[in-house]
A = this chain, B = another copy of it.
Amino acid sequence: MVGDITVRIIEGKGISWVKGFSAIGIKAGIKKSGSMDLCLIYSEKPAVAAATFTTNIVKAAPVLIDMQQIKQDHVRALVINSGNANACTGEEGYQNAVTMAEETASALAIKSSEVLVYSTGIIGVQLPIDIVKAGIKTCASQLVHEADDHAAEAIMTTDNIIKSIFVEVVLSEKTVSIAGMAKGSGMIHPNMATMLSYIVTDAAITKALLTEMHKTSVDGSYNMISIDGDTSTNDTATIVANGCAENPLIDSKNQDYDQLKEAIDFINVFLAKKIASDGEGATKLVEVDLKGAVSLADARLCARGIISSNLVKAAMHGSDANWGRVLCAMGYSGGGFDPAKAEVSFKSWAGEITVFSGGMPAIFDEEQACQILKQEVVTILINLYDGDFEAKAWGCDLSPEYVKFNGSYRS
């Protein structure tokens, strides 16, 4: 149960199990490590698509292209390479991104305007375009349906775990499949960071409603996570729907819309949490669960303020019940609240403890608080007692390993 709808989660299935989609991930040779680095997703029918792009002024070449392509009525294919971000690569980089779209179109006998292009990895190095071109041909010839497609593996960079999920929902008696995959790790912050997220579904829905649903869902999921406060040049969340489930076309905000929206929210939050807990050097997932704000905007600002604070993250790493830093982070977040009413508690499977209440520190057992914070999933509960709005945000702790890792990323 997710809210009041039923979502069936199926283990072991991925992108290529969605009706009308095929996919493949391969080792094209872009990464020095020899790991998988190229992924192709193909829809046998024209599909509607929506995407949210990084707000960074410095946008990678594929982002610039996709911002145009997404305006088309439909798409047919997505091509994604990891190991190289094709960012800060000038005119040559832009041409390489165009070439990726053209090569994909040619290999699949579709138009290049029907292809979305993505890159993730190191910034400022030109793509080995001949390797990429050969890889695209290989991908096109190896596409699979209802098989082990390796798509979620091929988009990883510094990720430690594969982030993938497959769910089914029933819309007007038709089973609709939805697969999601993402890559994350460093530079994750509200408003799109080094993050790529993909949802493909066989639902039938108009482009306008898909776009609206997607934006709202991204605001409550990927835009509410923070690993290190940096927002990257490449990040994009994309959703594609090809209608192959043959459910009645969703062209108004009816019950089917609501059900699909809840399933998609579920997937995006699932993937956002996976990204947060897989932050570089992270040892635990930290969730902020904030209630009682006077507006949604205030709720989100306060929740993001907490999850983005280096000092809160460091305290979480040390399992230190430092509610002062939590309050302080809300205080400079830009979100409005009354410190004299706010309540702060910490929660995990080991228990729950209130540490600040009514403008004053609560008397609590430090040892018990430490035990609660030592767990792998920790929730910071906030009640502002000011209104009816709430927000959740996700992040990780800040560890010495994060710094070690990021002091030598390029080497």
A interface list, Cβ under 8 A from B: 55-59, 87-90, 122-125, 186-187, 189, 191, 228-233, 308-311, 314-315, 317-318, 320, 322-325, 327-332, 336-337, 339-340, 356, 358-361, 398-411
- Cα A228 to Cα B329 in complex, Å, equals 12
9 chain-A/chain-B pairs, Cβ below 8 angstroms: A57-B339, A58-B327, A88-B356, A89-B361, A124-B356, A186-B311, A229-B229, A317-B403, A318-B408
Chain B hits for A55, CB < 8 A: 332
Chain B hits for A327, CB < 8 A: 58, 88, 123, 233
CB-nearest residue of chain B to A404: B400
Chain B hits for A407, CB < 8 A: 314-315, 317-318, 320
Looking at A189, A324, A328, A404, which has the most chain B CB atoms within 10 Å of its CB? A328
Looking at the complex, which one of B315, B324, B328 makes contact with A406 (CB distance below 8 Å)? B315
Closest Cβ of chain B to A69, distance in Å, is 21
Closest Cβ of chain B to A19, distance in Å, is 38
- Cα A57 to Cα B90 in complex, Å, equals 43
**Is chain A's interface secondary structure helix, strand, loop, or mixed overall?**
loop
Chain B hits for A309, CB < 8 A: 229-230
CB-nearest residue of chain B to A189: B332
- Cα A404 to Cα B317 in complex, Å, equals 9
Closest Cβ of chain B to A228, distance in Å, is 4
- Cα A308 to Cα B322 in complex, Å, equals 23
Given contacts A230-B325, A404-B400, contact A56 B332 (CB under 8 A): yes
CB-nearest residue of chain B to A332: B231
CB-nearest residue of chain B to A316: B407
**A403 engages B398 (CB within 8 Å):** yes
- Cα A331 to Cα B60 in complex, Å, equals 11
Given contacts A402-B403, A406-B318, A407-B320, contact A228 B186 (CB under 8 A): no
- Cα A233 to Cα B326 in complex, Å, equals 11
Given contacts A88-B359, A230-B329, A324-B124, contact A403 B403 (CB under 8 A): yes
Chain B hits for A87, CB < 8 A: 324
CB-nearest residue of chain B to A56: B331
Closest Cβ of chain B to A362, distance in Å, is 10
Looking at the complex, which one of B125, B191, B324 makes contact with A361 (CB distance below 8 Å)? B125
Closest Cβ of chain B to A82, distance in Å, is 16
**B314 engages A406 (CB within 8 Å):** yes
- Cα A402 to Cα B315 in complex, Å, equals 11
Looking at the complex, which one of B189, B336, B360, B408 makes contact with A89 (CB distance below 8 Å)? B360
Chain B hits for A329, CB < 8 A: 230
**A124 engages B228 (CB within 8 Å):** no
Chain B hits for A191, CB < 8 A: 332
**A90 engages B314 (CB within 8 Å):** no
**A361 engages B88 (CB within 8 Å):** yes
Additional pairs, 16, CB under 8 Å, beyond known A123-B324, A125-B361, A400-B400: A57-B332, A58-B331, A87-B324, A88-B360, A89-B360, A90-B360, A123-B325, A124-B324, A229-B308, A310-B310, A314-B403, A318-B407, A320-B407, A320-B410, A320-B411, A400-B404
Closest Cβ of chain B to A192, distance in Å, is 9
Chain B hits for A58, CB < 8 A: 327-328, 330-331, 339
- Cα A317 to Cα B231 in complex, Å, equals 20
Q: Which 9 A-B pairs have the closest CB atoms?
A: A318-B407, A123-B324, A400-B400, A58-B331, A314-B406, A56-B331, A231-B332, A124-B361, A57-B331
Closest Cβ of chain B to A153, distance in Å, is 25
CB-nearest residue of chain B to A336: B57
CB-nearest residue of chain B to A408: B318
Chain B hits for A328, CB < 8 A: 56, 58, 123, 187, 230-233
Chain B hits for A308, CB < 8 A: 229
Closest Cβ of chain B to A235, distance in Å, is 11
Closest Cβ of chain B to A62, distance in Å, is 15
